[in-house]
Amino acid sequence: SAAAKIKTQAMLRVADPNTLFADGKLIILDESGGLTLARPNEGHVEILSKATVSESQTWTPPTLVGTTLYVRDRQRLSAYDLK
């Protein structure tokens, strides 16, 4: 929802995040290619891991299929095994 997106954006200080919720965790991709794995807790978000997955702008929401995360930027589609 729009409210959840604004709250996530404020809590993590990321620009225009695209967020997935899977297995009790948030998978957050910001427009500059930063990927964050986080666990929501009461009133805050615990960051578990961060990585840069693209040097190009990433406007498309990431897609999770099984344990494979697909990220598309302006130049390519990448797949990451999250096992």
pLDDT in tens, 7-19: 555 555 666 788 8
- Which pLDDT score is estimated for 44? 81
Over residues 27-72, the pLDDT tens digits come to 999 998 999 999 988 888 889 999 999 988 888 889 999 999 999 9
- What is the distance between the alpha carbons of residues 22 and 69, in angstroms, rounded to a whole number? 11
Could you tell me if 12 and 36 are in contact, meaning their C-beta atoms sit under 8 angstroms apart? yes
Q: How far apart are CA 57 and CA 49, in angstroms?
A: 20
